[in-house]
């Protein structure tokens, strides 16, 4: 039961942080008129977002694996026949979810924060490109997360 709660809390934090990035932070940048203020807000926010997203995804994956082990023990020999295809799709989507989340967190956000902390300047075009990549990757991750959640609910309801 503790693992179920941990899974639910980490799922809430993960999806909430993504939704906050996509629906709150990125639109808030356009409300600021100063380019320097936009860069500072984005860097400060991503500095908090990166570890939060990465840690919650890690806990989500580990707690999901523990729950899957318990589900497999409950179904025994019927596990693959009853849940095999749903599980295969869920694991495939989870794989792409991890890849996209890692890309967003490490290749886009972390690199930006590191460059900002080293004192590099960013042109408006670079900032626009960065926010576009964050917006597109967040939408794709939220879509994959929704599909993965739906398949997870199908596994639990089976």
- Give the chain's mean pLDDT: 90
Give the position of tokens 């860069």.
39
Interval 129-142: pLDDT, tens: 999 999 999 999 99
| Domain total in the chain | 1
Task: Provide, rounded to the nearest whole percent, the portion of the chain with pLDDT above 70.
Answer: 94
Which range marks the domain in which residue 41 is found? 2-157
Instruction: Give the per-residue pLDDT at 158.
Output: 55
- The CA-atom distances, in angstroms, between 114 and each of 47, 57, 144 are 9, 21, 28
Q: Are 104 and 138 in contact (CB under 8 A)?
A: yes
Interval 75-101: pLDDT, tens: 677 766 666 777 888 889 999 999 999
């Amino acid at each position: 039961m503790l693992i179920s709660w941990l899974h639910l809390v980490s799922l809430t934090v993960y999806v909430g942080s993504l939704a906050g990035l996509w629906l709150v932070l990125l639109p808030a940048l356009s409300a600021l008129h100063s380019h320097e203020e936009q860069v500072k807000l984005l860097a400060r926010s991503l500095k908090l977002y990166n570890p939060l997203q990465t840690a919650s995804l890690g806990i989500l994956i580990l707690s999901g694996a523990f729950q899957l082990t318990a589900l497999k023990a409950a179904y025994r020999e019927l596990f693959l026949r009853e849940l095999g295809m749903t599980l295969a799709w869920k694991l495939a989507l989870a794989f792409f979810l991890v890849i996209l989340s890692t890309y967003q967190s490490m290749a886009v956000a972390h690199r930006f924060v590191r460059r900002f902390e080293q004192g590099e300047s960013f042109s408006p075009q670079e900032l626009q490109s960065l926010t576009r990549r964050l917006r597109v990757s967040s939408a794709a991750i939220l879509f994959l997360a929704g599909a993965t959640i739906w398949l997870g609910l199908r596994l639990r309801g089976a």
